[in-house]
Amino acid sequence: MDKIRELASKSAVVIFTKSSCCMCHSIKALFYELGASPSIHELDQDSRGNEMAVALRILGCNPCVPAIFIGGQFVGSAKDVISLHVDGSLKEMLINAKAIWL
Amino acid sequence: MMADISPSTSTDADTEDKNRYQLQQLGAVASDGSDRPKDQKTLRRLAQNREAARKSRLRKKAYVQQLESSRMKLTQLEQELQRARQQGIFISGSGDQSQSMSGNGALAFDVEYARWLEEQNRRVNELRGAVNSHAGDAELRIIVDGILAHYDDIFRIKGDAAKADVFHILSGMWKTPAERCFLWLGGFRSSELLKLLINQLEPLTEQQLLAINNLQQSSQQAEDALSQGMEALQQSLAETLAGSLGPSGSSGNVANYMGQMAMAMGKLGTLEGFIRQADNLRQQTLQQMHRILTTRQSARALLAITDYFSRLRALSSLWLARPRE
């Protein structure tokens, strides 16, 4: 969990993924489209990947990837991010975290 | 040479008539009553004709009997289906979804969808009636909320069906042909729906117009993102399967093959997730649209959406019934 928090605080947008996960690919594409430059951490490339996966699930992320953090805060899974984008909140969060500018 | 085939008790006149009739049947006498004798060839031909006619009559009788029994069977099947429905075999929301779906996922879903559509049409007609009779906002809101909740139902039903048979949902075979033209990840594109609504919804306030445009853009961005993920999935699947190609024969390659197949299976398993996200996007877009619009505008929007899909379905019917060479 510490490693998650640590990594999450390093960038405005942090996404935990797995290299084989195609939904992660979708969410990455969405953030790129919005002009954000998310930091990507692939759990399967990390020696402590399994622990981190468990920690993400404890945070409530199901499935554990993609797990999105904005401004160091856990935002949710793919479904959460898409819902937030549809109601306009996502852009606001990104602006507040200085991940994008209007 | 003529066999005595008349009963001995008849009168002479009767006997003669009977003889003539029987001779006609044998073809020895022309049916116009003349006594023209026939040669062997003609007699044979006439006999063959009679035989052919007799066989034809028997075939017709058999065919009709078959039709009758098929009709009875059809009635029986319809009754069974009705009974099964009443017993809740296909009813959604009851007990264990996966159990009722797994036996016949695709068929069960088609049945549920048909029923959902029927109910949807009923509700929309109710809405149309209310709008046309200038019902008040309170009444409209009840009907509109009901329709939106009803949309939630189909998304839930689709979700369960996708667990049972993701390829059936993806195929769009449960929709009409013209609708399938526009199929995206197992359903409609919200961004396209909003595009056609924007014109129908005037007058909109500046704020509403901006919000609707933002919504249209957001849903389009989400659609594009999901599409990209699907493409990545396809590519990954193709690479996995291609990776299992190689020189055949060694046991190492069998293990390789199995491993690759297992990986491919895993990738196929993620398809359901994409359908789920696509449906979630549709659901969220509808709800956000409802938040932006007034009750009356939402009512008009729902009517417009329904009309659009009705036309697509009508187009499909026309297409299927078109005259062909």
Give the tens place of pLDDT for each residue, A1-30: 888 999 999 999 999 999 999 999 999 999
Task: Flag whether residue A85 sits within 8 Å of chain B, measured between CB atoms.
Answer: yes
Chain centroid to Cα B270, Å, comes to 26
What are the residue ranges in chain B where pLDDT is below 50?
1-8, 91-103
Q: Searching chain A, which residue's CA lies closest to the CA of residue B228? A: A26
Residue whose token pair is 């697509």: B312
Residues sharing a CB contact under 8 Å with residue B141, sequence separation 6 or more, in sequence order: B295
List pLDDT tens digits, range B207-243: 999 999 999 999 999 999 999 999 999 999 999 988 7
- Nearest Cα neighbor of B142 from B133, B153, B150 is B150
- Tell which of A15, A18, A26 to mutate to test the B interface (max B CBs under 10 Å): A26
Interchain contact, A26 vs B226, CB within 8 Å? yes
- Interchain pair A22, B233: CB under 8 A: yes
From B226, B232, B288, residue closest to A87, measured CB to CB:
B288
Q: Of A25, A27, A86, which is closest to B284 when you measure between CB atoms?
A: A86
Would you state the pLDDT for residue B214? 96
| Assembly ipTM | 0.96
**Among A84, A90, A85, which residue's Cα sits nearest to residue A71?**
A90
Span A65-92, average pLDDT: 96
B224 Cβ under 8 Å from any chain A Cβ: yes
> Is A27 part of the contact surface with chain B (CB cutoff 8 Å)?
yes
3-state secondary structure of B294: coil
Using a CB-CB cut-off of 8 Å, the residues of chain B touching A44 are none
C-alpha–C-alpha distance, residues B25 and B23, integer Å? 5
pLDDT for res B147? 97
Whole-number pLDDT of residue B246: 60
Answer whether A30 sits within 8 Å of B291, measured CB to CB.
no
Q: Do A86 and B276 touch (CB under 8 A)?
A: no
Nearest to B232 among A22, A63, A82 (CB): A22
Cα dihedral across residues B251, B255, B256, B258: positive or negative: positive
The chain B residue lying nearest A85, using CA atoms, is B218
Element (H, E) at A76: strand A73-76
φ/ψ region of B97 (left if φ > 0, alpha if ψ in -120 to 50, else beta) reads alpha
Among all residues of chain B, which has the CA nearest to that of A33? B221
Q: Is the pTM of the predicted complex or chain greater than 0.90?
A: no
